[in-house]
Amino acid sequence: MSFNLTDASFTGSTYAWVSVKKPDGTALGSSPYCGRNCTISATTLPDTGTYTIVFNPQNDKTGSLTAKVAAS
């Protein structure tokens, strides 16, 4: 799977930390600085269950990103 994040709604030079959490809550992958677009590289999902994409903008900003998940 790969995760492509695009079309951020926040303005300016705000960056966000984006990560993918496995069903047990540990990190699967992350992109430390996701401006208006970023990609979390392809990886194999190691466990069955629900995975969560965490979006955390810096400086207490709010906004959204469009997340696209693709099979590798």
**Residue-wise over 13-38: b if at least 16 C-beta within 10 A, else e?**
ebbbebbbbbeeeeebbebeebebeb
Residue 49: strand, helix, or coil: coil
Is this model's pTM higher than 0.85 or not? no
**Cα distance between residue 59 and residue 41, in whole Å:** 26
**Residue 2: what pLDDT?**
83
Reading the chain (72 residues) residue by residue, the pLDDT tens digits are: 888 888 888 765 567 778 888 999 998 866 667 777 788 886 888 889 998 888 887 777 777 778 888 886
Residue 65 belongs to domain spanning: 2-70
**Which CA distances in Å does 30 have to 11, 57?**
22, 14
The candidate with the shortest Cα–Cα distance to 22, out of 55, 56, 57, 48, is: 48
Residue 66 has a pLDDT of 86
pLDDT at 28: 84
Number of domains in the chain: 1
